[in-house]
A and B are shown apart, each in its own frame.
Chain A
Amino acid sequence: MKAFRFALKQIIPLIFAYLFVGLASGLLLHKAGYAPVWAFLSALLVYAGSMQIVMVTLMVSGVPLYMVAVMTLLINARHVFYGISFIDEFRQAGRGKGQGWKFPYMALTLTDETYSVLCALRVPAELDRHQVQFWIQHLCHMLWVCSCTLGAVAGELLPVDMTGIEFSATALFVAVVVNQWREARSHLPALIGLASAIVYYFVLGPDGLILPALSTSVVALVLLRKQIPTGAMEVEHDR
């Protein structure tokens, strides 16, 4: 169970964010008049924080189903870009007898946060990397299901004011950016991402930036691929 314990250590920074956002989204659903079972099911099957919050609005407003489908595709399209980095990894994780289900499971439970944890992950040689990745994703998924359900059942009883704890997700992303910056042989990818995000922030406004920025980055990276050496330098890494 060494892999399990190592995975648990990797997700500590995430626990607060998942707990708080999960509780909040469960509470939101409860306040809109839906039974806790729906919070449980959407956490289990959808497992996407921002989408579950939008979902409550969609349920209440009675938008037709095809619009729900289109909105979901638009909001979650960024996930397509996450998967590209893990095609081989997850396929390998699913090799071996009785392990086949891990490939689709890991593919379908890759979120913004687990993606960033996996990007920053350096596994000691004595541990099985794929096992660690699996536990990270599975623990996060279960934590999410528990906190969403708990939010729907008992969110109103929460005694302390935790406003601002959602910043831990931003802090996680910033820390990963710093790690990547230190290790990258070329800073071009990060600079391309930053430039396109800022440009679309001004052109399309705060809520419309993510998808155009990702697509533009892909095009720019493809066009500049001769200038960008891939692979990371070997540097000392965090505990």
Chain B
Amino acid sequence: MTDNWQTAAIIGVIAAMTMITRGLPYLLFARKCPPPLVAYLGTALPSAIMIILVVYCLRNVAWTVAPHGAAELISVAAVVVLQLWRKNTLLSIFTGTACYMILIRTAFPL
């Protein structure tokens, strides 16, 4: 029983803290309209955030040892080229992922 309480407490704490990080911007600007600087950040920040997330996703790639992240680089390049060419997000993601899954099984085994 104590084990269950402990598990519930951990999940509860993690859920509460996650909700705080997600809810904070709304709590800060609950009553008033966000000031111009925050509104500006709301439009300028997404481009910075998304590219940081891409780097973050690739953070565990072993760049210094062979094959130097070749599977990741080729698959990312495939997504970029397809997205520029066909402008179809679903097609780009599907092809890029398939490319990666094939490469790590054939040319560059993990």
Contact = CB atoms under 8 A, between A and B. Distances in A.
Chains A and B are bound partners: yes
Interface of A: 12-13, 16, 34, 38, 41-42, 45-48, 51, 55, 58-59, 65, 68-69, 72-73, 76-88, 90-91, 103-104, 107-110, 112, 115-116, 119-120, 163-165, 167-182, 184, 187, 189-190, 192-194, 196-198, 201, 206-207, 209-210, 213-214, 217-218, 221-222, 225, 228, 230-231, 236-239
B18 to A, nearest CB: 5
Contacts of A34: 7
- Give the interface size class of chain B: 35 or more
Interface string B59-78: 11000000000001001100
Contacts of A177: 47, 50-51, 54
Contacts of A116: 50, 53
Contacts of B38: 84, 87
A164 B100 contact: yes
A201 B52 CA distance: 10
Contacts of A38: 7, 11
Nearest to A41: B11
Contacts of A46: 11, 14-15, 18
B97 A164 contact: yes
B21 A79 contact: yes
Interface centre among A84, A165, A177, A236 (most CB of B within 10 A): A84
Contacts of B88: 238-239
B25 A87 contact: yes
Given A55-B11, A82-B49, A165-B97, A175 B89 contact: yes
Interface of B: 7-26, 29, 33-34, 37-38, 40-60, 72, 75-76, 79-80, 83-84, 87-90, 92-94, 96-97, 100-101, 104-105, 110
B59 A201 contact: yes
Contacts of B33: 88
A83 B24 contact: yes
B18 A178 contact: no
B87 A217 contact: no
Q: Do most interface residues of chain B lie in helix, strand or loop, or is the interface mixed?
A: helix
A197 B15 contact: no
Contact of B23 (A104, A207, A217): A104
Nearest to A237: B87
A168 B97 contact: yes
Given A79-B22, A193-B51, A170 B46 contact: no
Contacts of B94: 13
A68 B13 CA distance: 7
Which 7 pairs, one residue from A and one from B, show the smallest C-beta to C-beta distance? A193-B48, A83-B25, A206-B59, A197-B55, A72-B17, A45-B15, A171-B96
Nearest to B49: A81
A77 B22 CA distance: 8
B70 to A, nearest CB: 14
Contact of A170 (B34, B40, B54): B54
Given A107-B23, A170-B58, A197-B56, A230 B18 contact: no
